[in-house]
Structure 1
């Protein structure tokens, strides 16, 4: 029988420590041979993906025994946990593997807790800069730089002069985005390219306003960052305006828009 979960405040502190342990493993490998190879789905994977996931799985299973963990490399190996409608974890141990291989620093550790389809706790850590964003339902969102104290973050009111839009470092197709912005009556004043979950975090801390994603993603790619963004006052919705939820068959996401609530 699954044990009751600790409070979100307790889980937030514990998963912060777990993410930092995983980040140390990632940076250890980042300094040397990455062990790069190609998975069956033709996406890249490295020794760091597996090392970080091992740390996170051990930490979460010790923290919340019996709570399912859906993790990217476990899924790739065919180890799919059974979900019973209760809480579960979504883990991407190294989001932005392509950026990791390029050694541009734009990769993150992602840990999220899902309850009733919603991301109620999200931890996003950028190991290369030692920057950590986190958010939890009813606790707000905060950020720590280089292991320092956490300070609150929140989304901003969209500027009258136009939005700052985020695009993926490896998937930016500006013509498609331009058409979407124009069709939705949105004025864009500037753009930021960033890898992995950093785009959500830029919106969460008020440095950007919107990130439309019209390509394939998996639930572990977005859950942690959505937890941060929503706790900071933002939202993530599908193209028909419905909340992006988790625990879907196959764990794939539809197209979505991450944004501050005033970026409409």
Structure 2
């Protein structure tokens, strides 16, 4: 599904977009692009006029997470926090959940497997929003995956090309679709979480949180024991690179069946261009 993006200029038009959007996304911090909400009247309008049966998702960092939690409490409606990356953020969300507030959250593989040291080494190729955290931040995210506070694993897929990343104004963001499952299967092989928990994080919980329909005859087959090294050349994405190049993983996607048709098998994309569908909102 597609998000509707909140901004002061467009807030009056948002309710009309709700039928075509899976959720409303509000940016409380800087990212790539101009979408950022900094004024209280726009925030109030979003929470008052966006249909209550539709989710509100937030890009919120550090103290902005507290703003999102406060809005969830004030308007008694669910808020989903995208790509949480810091100890202080996940602990605040844990506190809110303990009080029964309607908040959920996700983390990304790049915030689980990379740190600020990788940014120092790779530069713009390891720059994203939120930026990479410290080893202590990473440890906190894993702790709250284990204890159930984290609801979802998300890719935050942003496949900027090498030319863009090497430009004078490199955009933040990295590709994540192809590496997310191998990385998380590696965590399963290391005993950091169970396969059942991974399925909940990457399938069951996201579908329920966003109220997405079931996808009949759609599944992914993996070899959980395949060990190999990620390379740029493996990427099918047009960006053609990954910040995880050189990292050894255990767990390979072998086959993807989409609506009864084999879309991917043994490293080859078999689905014809244009066969993908936007999930209904």
- TM-score higher than 0.5 here? no
Q: TM-score, normalised by structure 1?
A: 0.28
Is the strand fraction higher in 1 or 2?
A: 1
More helix by share: 2
Larger radius of gyration: 2
- Highest RCO, 1 vs 2 (Cα 8 Å, sep ≥ 6): 1
